[in-house]
Amino acid sequence: MKSTVNTRQRTQASTSLFPGRSTKLQAVWRGDTERLHQLAMELANQPDAVMQERLHDLEQWERLQVLDEIRHRTAG
């Protein structure tokens, strides 16, 4: 399991991917990175069966989010 310090260092380094770019984009990137790290930490503490079920549910949710975004963009 990786420490929060390593994740934060990676988050700070990843914001350099957007030099001179929107601070809003950097903030969203940082927020998503922190959210995913927290989720990974929660899942790591679950029994294997629960973790697999949660991962499956998250994958389904992500697919729905992508489809919703595609529909929103094509409708507009």
Looking at residue 9, its pLDDT comes to 59
**Residue 14: per-residue pLDDT:** 55
Q: Distance between CA atoms of 10 and 59, rounded to whole angstroms?
A: 24
3-state secondary structure of 9: helix
Query: Residue 24 has what pLDDT?
Result: 86
Mean per-residue pLDDT pooled into runs of 10, the chain (76 residues): 54 59 84 92 94 94 91 80
Q: How far apart are CA 56 and CA 76, in angstroms?
A: 31
| Residue labelled with tokens 């998250």 | 58
At residue 21, φ and ψ (nearest 5 deg) are: -90, 180
Task: Check residue 23 and give its pLDDT.
Answer: 84
